[in-house]
Structure formats: structure tokens, C-alpha cells
Amino acid sequence: MPVVPPNISILPIPAIQVMSIGDVSYQTIQQSIGTYFYKINNIYIYASNLDQLLQPIGLKKYNKFGDKQIRILQPMIDPYQQSSALDQTMLGLDYIFDSNNGFYPTISANTSVNFQFSTTEISHQDYLQGVDNFQNIEYLQDYLNDF
């Protein structure tokens, strides 16, 4: 049974920095989620290297049964294009920042990434609209798969 000793290092402060480019800070946006929800329509990702652009992004979501689902979004570009940015459509994923869902980007070492989320701000009233008893409810409609 091999034993490997760890390398211990103390990382700088902050180890990972999230900055909002705009008037409203990331913390303010984060805190406002709950008052408003943000439906993500499109993500524009810019990074200085190709490797970073191809990093997978985890989307965590809870379905209507309360089960956690994670979908790995794998950005794809033409490798010969040497592109430094890409557009990732979220069409059909129905993904909303609702303070419970998580967006897990993988950031390469010593790299910075720019995310531009095209959002639709949704109020509580609009967000909670769904199928009600006065509509035709199909049995097992959307069974399990909310993603």
C-alpha cells in the first residue's frame, strides 16, 4: 500500500476572484437572486487560451422532485480556428439562476475567464407559473428529466 506525502502550500488571497464588469457587483447580483431569478439564454465565454475555452462547465439543478441533477456542458469549437471566444446557447436547457442552482466552471491555473450571461430577469410571479389543474396535465409529463 503506497503512501504519498502531501505538498502543502498556502494560496494567495483571494485564491479565486470573481469580479463583475459593470455597475453592479457580483455580491449584489448574488444577493438579489431570490428577489429576481435570471434565466440564462446564452453564455459568451472569452478566454486567452484555447484550453480554457474547452473546459467543461457543470450545471447543477434540482428537478421538480427535488432530486439534484448535474449536466456537464462541454463547449465545442473548431480546434483549428484558434478562437478565443465562443457563444454557448442555453436554448432548451431551461436553466435559471434561482439561488439554488449552481454554475460550476472549471478555471485553468493562473487564467482569467470572461463570462457574459445573456439573461432574462424573471420575477417570482412569472417564475412560478407552470402547469396547473385547469390545464391538461399529461401523466408522467417531464418525467425526471428537467434538463
**Applying CB under 8 A, which of residues 99, 124, 143, 147 lies at the interface with other proteins?**
99
Q: What whole-number distance in Å separates Cα of residue 115 and Cα of residue 113?
A: 6
- Is 8 a binding residue for other proteins by CB under 8 A? The answer is yes
CA-wise closest residue to 40 among 135, 85, 105: 105
The three grid cell numbers given for residue 100, joined into one nine-digit string: 439554488
- Is 58 a binding residue for other proteins by CB under 8 A? The answer is yes
Tell me the closest approach of the beta carbon of residue 146 to other proteins, in angstroms. 17
The three grid cell numbers given for residue 128, joined into one nine-digit string: 412560478
Q: Which C-beta is closer to other proteins: that of 49 or that of 137? A: 49
Size, binding site for other proteins by CB under 8 A:
60
Tell me the closest approach of the beta carbon of residue 28 to other proteins, in angstroms. 11
> For residues 78-97, which are near other proteins according to CB under 8 A?
97
**Applying CB under 8 A, which of residues 106, 131, 142, 147 lies at the interface with other proteins?**
106
**Applying CB under 8 A, which of residues 77, 86, 93, 117 lies at the interface with other proteins?**
117
Inter-CA distances, 51 with 76, 81, 102, Å: 11, 13, 22
Inter-CA distances, 134 with 128, 130, 131, 139, Å: 15, 11, 8, 14
**Applying CB under 8 A, which of residues 35, 89, 100, 131 lies at the interface with other proteins?**
100
DSSP-derived secondary structure for 57-74: EEEEEE-TTS-EEEEEE-
List interacting residues with other proteins (CB under 8 A).
1-22, 26-27, 29-30, 33, 38, 55-56, 58, 60, 72, 97, 99-123, 126
